Amino acid sequence: MKGKEYSVTKSRDLFNRAENLLPGGVNGNIKFRNPFPIFLSRASGSHIWDVDSNEYIDYNLSYGALILGHSHPVIVRALKDAIDNYGTLLFGNPNVSEIEFAELLLNIYYKDGRIRFTNSGMEATLLAVRLGVAYTGKRKVGKFDGHYHGANPLLLSNYRPTKGRDVKGKIVKEADSIEIQRDLLDSIVVLPFNDIEGTKEVLEREDVGTIILEPFEDGYIPANTDFMNFLRQYTKERGIVLIFDEVKTGFRVRIGGAVEYYSLRPDLICLGKIIGGGTPIGAVLGKTEIMELLDPRRENERRVFHSGTFNGNPLSMSLGIATVNELISGNNFLKIQRLSDELRKEISGVLSDLGISHRMYGEGGIVNYTLSDDVIKTYRDISKKNMENRKKIDSMLTGMGVYLIPGSRFSMSIAHSESDISETVASIKVAVKRLLDRNEL
Ligand SMILES: Cc1ncc(COP(=O)(O)O)c(C=O)c1O
């Protein structure tokens, strides 16, 4: 158990340097921490080290991407094999690894469907929506309040809006980035998550052709089964293209993601993160009739153009294949699920012992909790105070060697161990007690 808080002076020095080169010292808005992020220098398995030689148990795992942990032997081998076998990391022309990975993913997620690889989750969500618009000929896209689909301007509204609801109790549409102007926002229809009547009411008014959602909001707040069944049924009856954004949930809530969890087949699925085995990747897969719009042999007026220098590169394909094969072999996914169940149970036990109201969330390899026993249906149900308290606990944990994004979910990997879990839970106990003693919770 760690009681002493870490010193991070070298991280601060690097941040001072970075800040004069990179806006805010980072390469992505979500990578900033106040007053500065820690700079990492090394990783192995479930552990990471910062430039001040502090060691952490890593539950961020690069925002959930590294389900095998850091430098897993199958990944190291696949990396070496890729360069040995191919003699390059980039062909620019088709390569057999694209076929092998396509077969593997389609077999799990969309038998008889088609797939197109991209280089990020954001590119995948953008492409999926473009396909939906092209297929239906309808420009309006439904996205759910509170759902994140990457830094893609079309879908970058109402992720974490600052405005509440209007006088009639309706969610107010709000861009998350200042360059997003009226004309783009006009094509977006914001829908209330886990609210059948509210969603129906908006959809009856708006001529929406495509709907995208995170089946688990923020990776951990589940869509109610009734809500998912309603959405699938409603969209099917009206010819609306339904997209599951499984960039977080793919290979994480189940091997077959939310598609397997809910036993539902959307029209398109977006994957990312885990399927790159640590390299940049994204993928859109789904119904052949829609995906075939990408076929370059189609005449221009019947074709969706999409391309990318790095799409389907043999490095990402090889590491992705190695990751998926490792996950589906033996009881590996089950092991991740068991470790997550254990962490959920242990955190709940500690919080109960300390008299802290809470509720546990998460499926498969995702663990999370809220500091209230009320059931939440969307992020809006978490009070500001409870979120602030949760962030206080997590920030204190960072200083004690347990790393996750404050207020966010724990991502589990095959590399985590029972002793990681005991250490994590012991640290949570110390952090919560300390905050209680200071009257800060
Ligand atoms: C649900 C979801 N969709 C899309 C994205 C964007 O993926 P990327 O960061 O690879 O662009 C993310 C990233 O966190 C995500 O969680």
Q: How confident is the model at residue 4 (pLDDT cuts 50, 70, 90)?
A: low
CA dihedral over 191, 195, 200, 202, signed as positive or negative: negative
Q: Ligand 1 center to residue 98 CA distance, Å? A: 22
Per the structure block, which two tokens stand in for 218? 């923020």
Q: Where in the chain is the domain with CATH 3.40.640.10?
A: 73-328
HSE (side-chain half, CA atoms, 13 Å) at 15 = 18
* Predicted local distance difference test score (pLDDT) of residue 2: 52
Beta strand residue intervals within 8-70, DSSP E: 40-44, 47-50, 55-58
Average pLDDT over residues 74-87: 97
Model confidence pLDDT, tens digit, residues 277-336: 999 999 999 999 999 999 999 988 889 999 999 999 999 999 999 999 999 999 999 999
Residue 131 pLDDT more than 70?
A: yes
Residue 80 pLDDT more than 60?
A: yes
Q: Which CATH superfamily is domain 9-71+331-437 in?
A: Aspartate Aminotransferase, domain 1 (3.90.1150.10)
Residue 121 pLDDT more than 90?
A: yes
Judge if the beta carbon of residue 247 lies within 6 A of ligand 1: yes
State the DSSP code for 255.
Answer: T
Reported ipTM exceeds the 0.85 cut:
yes
Q: Give the Cα separation of 298 and 24 in Å (integer).
A: 45
3-class state of residue 127 by DSSP: helix
Q: Ligand 1 center to residue 273 CA distance, Å? A: 7
Nearest in space to 61 (alpha carbons), one of 261, 258, 283, 276: 276
Q: Give the Cα separation of 213 and 241 in Å (integer).
A: 11
Query: Residue 16 burial (CB < 10 Å; 0-12/13-18/19+)?
Result: exposed
Q: Where in the chain is the domain with CATH 3.90.1150.10?
A: 9-71+331-437
Q: Ligand 1 center to residue 54 CA distance, Å? A: 28
**Candidate of 117, 122, 251 to mutate for ligand 1, largest count of ligand atoms within 8 Å of Cβ:** 122
Q: Ligand 1 center to residue 380 CA distance, Å? A: 20
Query: pLDDT exceeding 90 applies to what percent of the chain?
Result: 94
Q: Give the Cα separation of 344 and 346 in Å (integer).
A: 6
Per the structure block, which two tokens stand in for 150? 């990457």
Q: How confident is the model at residue 419 (pLDDT cuts 50, 70, 90)?
A: very high
How far is CA 401 from its chain centroid?
23
> Which listed CATH number (3.90.230.10, 3.40.50.2300, 3.40.50.410, 3.40.640.10) goes with 73-328?
3.40.640.10
Q: Ligand 1 center to residue 5 CA distance, Å? A: 32
Judge if the beta carbon of residue 248 lies within 6 A of ligand 1: yes
3-class state of residue 332 by DSSP: helix
Average pLDDT over residues 43-50: 98
Do residues 263 and 101 make contact, with C-beta atoms less than 8 angstroms apart?
A: no
Judge if the beta carbon of residue 148 lies within 6 A of ligand 1: yes
